[in-house]
């Protein structure tokens, strides 16, 4: 890594920059002349990230530079805002940018750190929120015209915890409307574009979060995952996405899709960064009915534990069916790497085919229940695809829903038997590479079909509730990212993170950065 400015320079230049108008600063930033902000060229697809650009630091490295007072939170935030200004018109990753509030938070963080009141590794770090996390005084739209003017009065619990840790919230990211889809092409605010090739989708429903993290517009972003929506955008954008154990992270204040399957979690550029964020947001919330009291270990410390004794199961049946050739080749290569890291890698059987109809019936009913009042008043404000999905929920009978919920609970109680003889389970995150935007925009049927195919491998783990992470494991011949999915039993988030970190350390895929013209 190229040396950054020393402590005095970083903090002095940031205080001077406070007197510059935001517009003037962004102009300076583009030329690389403001404090700790250096030139902002993104590394080419075939090359590692540019270590001279502070927005391309990992969260961990940026946090360490801030802790040592070698990097100003204000300069770092300004650098991210400059990238948002430049790249968002291309990628459409953000719905709302909270520049003034972010700079104010960054100044507060800088003053606290100068005064010896360092809160931890998120202090002064720019983070984005998927636009279904409630933010007091800042609109939360869920990507929909129905909520385009909705301004909450309270922060979501996760947002409260992030702010308490000193994180700087730079804005709200674009998403598939009401999280009800896997493309992020269906949004009142327009489609999110894949940073590796803007003709392709970024994944959904947390597509804006994925694109923002991959391109250095922020150092982490919060997503939600009901069937794929953290892991699939992570895979399609070439970053890390962790769906925690169901109930580990509070969903209070997060606009729901399906209470039974919704998970909140981070998208980051490395596994260590995901562990850092999880450490802050994990923990019991008695006001969230889905929250469960469970141990919250030191996730970052757990990354240092050896993986040589871990036994890995490969779920080939179902999960490896009809993979695109480039996906299959990349995942098989990843399996080879894991064989050299762990005690054992062997094929196992996992019953998953029956999970999607079960999840679909429960999800349909719960989504309709939440939206019923809005459907009755303003159905015309929904996107046509979302409206069609939501209206179908009205046809789910009460006994079907009740039996579905019973089966979900039984599955979660008994599903751990799949780990008899193994510690973790691996599979491709998605059976296909990111589809073309033109293909998903062709018509509603095409959009729903491609979306369903892309989340085939992820949705079973929302039924099981197991912690599951997606990490980069290669690229297609066309230069699009591919993800590897790692799962473990309920509560074993540290194990998932540990193996993902070991794999990441043994490969270079996570160092790649997209070029955005």
Q: What are the residue numbers of the active site?
A: 130, 205, 229
Cα-based torsion angle of the residue sequence 172, 177, 181, 183 in order, rounded to the nearest 10 degrees:
-60
Which residues in 17-32 are b (16+ Cβ under 10 Å) and which e? beeeeeeebbebbbee
Work out the number of other CB atoms within 10 angstroms of the CB of residue 164: 12
d(CA 198, CA 221) in angstroms, rounded, equals 20
Q: Tell me which DSSP letter residue 362 carries.
A: H
d(CA 121, CA 73) in angstroms, rounded, equals 12
Backbone dihedral region for residue 229 (phi beyond 0: left; psi -120 to 50: alpha; all else: beta): alpha
- Bridge partners for 267 per DSSP: 221, 241
Which residue, 277, 247, 315, 244, is CA-closest to 484? Answer: 315
Q: What is the DSSP string of 265-307?
A: EEEESSHHHHHHHHHHHBS--TT-TT--------HHHHTTS--
Helix/strand/coil for 170: strand
d(CA 394, CA 78) in angstroms, rounded, equals 47
Helix/strand/coil for 142: coil
CA distances from 453 to 181, 204, 442 (A): 11, 12, 16
d(CA 495, CA 289) in angstroms, rounded, equals 26
* Residue spans of alpha helices (H) in 324-476: 325-341, 355-377, 384-392, 398-414, 437-440, 444-454, 460-464
């Amino acid at each position: 890594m190229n040396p950054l400015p020393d402590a005095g320079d970083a903090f002095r230049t940031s205080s001077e920059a406070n007197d510059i108008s935001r517009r003037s600063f962004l102009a300076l930033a583009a030329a690389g002349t403001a404090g700790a902000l250096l030139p902002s060229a993104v590394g080419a697809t075939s090359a590692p990230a540019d270590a001279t650009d502070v927005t391309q630091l990992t969260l961990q490295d940026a946090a360490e530079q801030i802790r040592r007072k070698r990097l100003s939170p204000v300069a770092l935030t300004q650098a991210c805002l400059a990238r948002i200004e430049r790249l968002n018109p291309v990628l459409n990753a953000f719905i709302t940018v909270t520049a003034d509030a972010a700079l104010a938070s960054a100044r507060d963080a800088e003053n606290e750190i100068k005064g010896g009141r360092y809160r931890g590794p998120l202090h002064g770090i720019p983070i984005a929120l998927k636009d279904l996390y409630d933010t007091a005084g800042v609109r939360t739209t869920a990507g929909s015209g129905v909520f385009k003017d909705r301004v909450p009065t309270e922060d979501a619990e996760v947002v409260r915890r992030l702010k308490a840790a000193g994180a700087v919230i730079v804005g709200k990211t674009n998403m598939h409307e009401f999280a009800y889809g896997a493309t992020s092409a269906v949004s009142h605010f327009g489609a999110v574009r894949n940073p590796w090739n803007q003709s392709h989708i970024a994944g959904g429903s947390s597509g804006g979060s994925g694109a923002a993290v991959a391109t250095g517009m922020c150092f982490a972003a919060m997503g939600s995952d009901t069937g794929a929506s953290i892991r699939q955008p992570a895979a399609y954008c070439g970053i890390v996405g962790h769906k925690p154990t169901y109930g580990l992270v509070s969903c209070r204040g997060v606009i729901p899709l399906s209470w039974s399957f919704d998970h909140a979690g981070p998208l980051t550029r490395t596994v260590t960064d995901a562990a850092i964020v999880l450490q802050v947001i994990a923990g019991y919330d008695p006001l969230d009915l889905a929250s469960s009291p469970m141990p919250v270990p030191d996730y970052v410390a757990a990354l240092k534990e050896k993986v040589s004794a871990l036994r890995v199961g490969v779920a080939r049946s179902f999960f490896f069916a009809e993979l695109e050739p480039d996906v299959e080749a990349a995942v098989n290569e990843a399996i080879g790497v894991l064989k050299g890291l762990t005690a054992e890698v062997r094929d196992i059987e996992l019953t998953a085919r029956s999970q999607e109809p079960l999840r679909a019936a429960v999800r349909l009913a719960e989504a309709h229940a939440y939206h019923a009042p809005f459907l009755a008043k303003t159905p015309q404000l929904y996107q046509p695809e979302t409206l069609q999905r939501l209206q179908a929920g009205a046809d789910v009978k009460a006994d079907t829903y009740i039996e579905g919920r019973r089966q979900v609970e039984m599955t979660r109680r008994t599903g751990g038997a799949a780990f008899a003889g193994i510690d973790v389970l691996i599979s491709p995150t998605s059976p296909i590479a990111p589809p073309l935007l033109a293909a998903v925009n062709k018509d509603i049927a095409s959009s729903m079909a491609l979306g369903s195919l892309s989340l085939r491998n992820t949705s079973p783990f929302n039924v099981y509730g197991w912690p599951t992470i997606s990490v980069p494991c290669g690229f297609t011949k066309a230069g699009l990212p591919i993800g590897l999915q790692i799962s473990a039993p309920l509560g074993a988030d540290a194990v998932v993170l540990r193996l993902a970190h070991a794999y990441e350390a043994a490969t270079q895929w996570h160092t790649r950065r997209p070029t955005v013209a």
